[in-house]
A and B are shown apart, each in its own frame.
Chain A
Amino acid sequence: MSQTQQAAAPKKMGRMIKTALWLIFFAALYIWSFTGLEVEWKKIMESLKIVNKMLAGIFTPEWGFIWEDEGVLDNMLVTLEIALLGTTIAAILAVPFGFLAANNMSKRYPILPFVEARFPVISWIGKRILNVIRTMPELIVAIIFIVGVGPTAFAGVLAIGLHSIGLIGKLYSEAIENMDEGPMEAITACGGSRLQVLWFAVVPQVLPEFFSFALYKFEINVRAASILGMVGAGGIGTPLLFALKGHDWHRVGAILLVVIIVVFLIDMLSGAIRKRLV
């Protein structure tokens, strides 16, 4: 009895010290964060004066701007097209990356001499590559492509196509890692070649999930594509940037309305399809 109490006391002390350390850490973190931020209250107060005008403008959208030539709908359509093409390019290019990064699709190699443990080197490299692709912000990728092909929607397609390989490839590789490997064995036992094993045992299992992940990324990419125009890569972002810079709140309102409705509808549609796929 007394023994357990003795044992409990230091444990309790240890926990208290740990909690205290965490508290100090967070206190320091927040003090550092808040005091370091350069806030010019006067400027903010100055800007905030427009809040009434802004809200009034946003809630009375300029309807004509929605339908006019090169207006909101035209640009939103381009945004959707960028997302569709970009996602498709990425969904295709991500297939080899997904297989590369899946740790059950490549050999494991002994990396240390005299040690039994084997390591999936190829898959490790594949995962790193995907990670780096994912970490490059798509706006920066877009800017790089703009240097090549000019400030067009095509630059946006290329940027989304390249950037999306990161997430889609990662999701693909996880789907491959989680599949049932039994059928692979069965096709091998039937005398199938490597390609046949892939086609008859792997593809039918992972394809619906691949589609589902591509659709999921498409939902994300519609959002991403609607801001690409802010750096000049086509779509609704460009008129948005102009409207924001010109404080044309009626136009901002019109754009916001369309973006929100379209994104919402795409989410619903894609979500419904994804539910049926898997």
Chain B
Amino acid sequence: MIEFKKVRKVYPNGTVGLDNINLTIHPGEFVIIVGLSGAGKSTLLRSINRLHEISEGEILIDGKSITAAKGAGLRRMRRDIGMIFQNFNLVKRVSVLRNVLSGRVGYHSTLRTLLGLWPKKDVEIALEALSRVNIREKAYARADELSGGQQQRVSIARALAQEAKIILADEPVASLDPLTTRQVMDDLKRINQELGITTIVNLHFLDLAREYGTRIIGLRAGKLVFDGPVEEATDDVFSEIYGRKIKKDELLGDVEEA
């Protein structure tokens, strides 16, 4: 469970990133955050695992405050939160397996991981994670030999190998073509359903949001302007979140399933 309590974030230059956010996300939900560019979607997501610090308020994860956590405690909490980025953030020069294994750094002492003494079990977990996203055969390929969609699946595998309870995905499909977009979203959805991992995704495409989300959160200028199940997120609601009519290019359009 993730709880935002009166969270406010002001950037050093005075921009208000988040404005009095109160929010509770329950285990197993598939939440999609929408909003205009600059609305604060990334800020919200990144404050959950404290890649960004918040200025006021508190964020609790399963009842424990990540805002107050420090050092090893903070790393321990981050271990349970996987993150997927728009541009994958893989180390391109090393193998896929090494990238996935790096998701497990939080489980072992620094020394042990630096020496590369991964337990056999970890390698199995990593390979298992790769199987789950259907790219096990690429385990020993260099990450930059993979296509964009495959690379994003590697980063999903990294979050899986991490055995995270929560997955945060910041525009995971923004640099992918429509077809791969669906494959990656399907992977995320399947993982959410099969493993019960709470998933929070920032998205730009409204039809994708409706299709995959169970709950939609709308942000506008750092404020929470909509929060409800996907059925309630009508076109009118979206127009309100965006402050104008929805344009065609905010829809991904129909693509046949691969």
Direct contact between A and B judged by beta carbons closer than 8 A: yes
User: Which A residues contact B (CB, under 8 angstroms)?
Assistant: 116, 180, 182-183, 185-193, 195-196, 199-201, 204-205, 208
Q: Is the CB of A183 within 8 A of B114?
A: no
Q: Is the CB of B12 within 8 A of A186?
A: no
Q: Is the CB of B51 within 8 A of A189?
A: yes
Q: Is the CB of A208 within 8 A of B51?
A: no
CB distance from B44 to the nearest CB of A (A): 15
User: Which B residues contact A (CB, under 8 angstroms)?
Assistant: 12-13, 49, 51, 75-83, 85, 87-94, 98, 102-106, 110, 113-114, 155, 158, 162
Q: How far is the CA of A190 from the CA of B98 in the complex (A)?
A: 14
Closest B residue by C-beta to A192: B105
Q: Residue B85 contacts which of A185, A191, A193, A204 (CB distance < 8 angstroms)?
A: A185
> What are the residues of chain B within 8 A of A187 when measuring CB–CB?
102, 105
Closest A residue by C-beta to B77: A191
CB distance from B62 to the nearest CB of A (A): 15
CB distance from A199 to the nearest CB of B (A): 5
Q: Residue A201 contacts which of B91, B103, B113, B162 (CB distance < 8 angstroms)?
A: B91
Q: Is the CB of A190 within 8 A of B89?
A: no
CB distance from B115 to the nearest CB of A (A): 10
> What are the residues of chain A within 8 A of B87 when measuring CB–CB?
182
> What are the residues of chain B within 8 A of A188 when measuring CB–CB?
51, 78
Q: Is the CB of B76 within 8 A of A191?
A: yes
Q: Is the CB of A189 within 8 A of B49?
A: yes
Q: Which of B77, B106, B158 has the most CB of A within 10 A?
A: B106
Q: How far is the CA of A192 from the CA of B88 in the complex (A)?
A: 17
A190-B103, A191-B105 in contact; A204/B91 too (CB < 8 A)? Answer: yes
A195-B114, A196-B110 in contact; A186/B158 too (CB < 8 A)? Answer: yes
Q: Is the CB of A192 within 8 A of B106?
A: yes
Closest B residue by C-beta to A181: B89
Q: How far is the CA of A193 from the CA of B107 in the complex (A)?
A: 11
Q: How far is the CA of A191 from the CA of B82 in the complex (A)?
A: 9
Given A186-B89, A191-B80, A196-B113, 16 additional A-B pairs, CB 8 A: A182-B87, A183-B90, A185-B51, A186-B155, A186-B158, A189-B51, A189-B78, A190-B79, A190-B103, A190-B158, A191-B78, A192-B105, A195-B110, A196-B114, A201-B91, A208-B93
> What are the residues of chain A within 8 A of B94 when measuring CB–CB?
204
Q: How far is the CA of A207 from the CA of B88 in the complex (A)?
A: 21
9 tightest A-B CB contacts, nearest first: A191-B106, A182-B89, A191-B79, A191-B78, A186-B89, A189-B83, A191-B75, A192-B105, A200-B102
Q: How far is the CA of A261 from the CA of B80 in the complex (A)?
A: 60
> What are the residues of chain A within 8 A of B105 when measuring CB–CB?
187, 190-193, 196, 200
Q: How far is the CA of A201 from the CA of B101 in the complex (A)?
A: 12
Q: How far is the CA of A196 from the CA of B118 in the complex (A)?
A: 14
CB distance from B74 to the nearest CB of A (A): 8
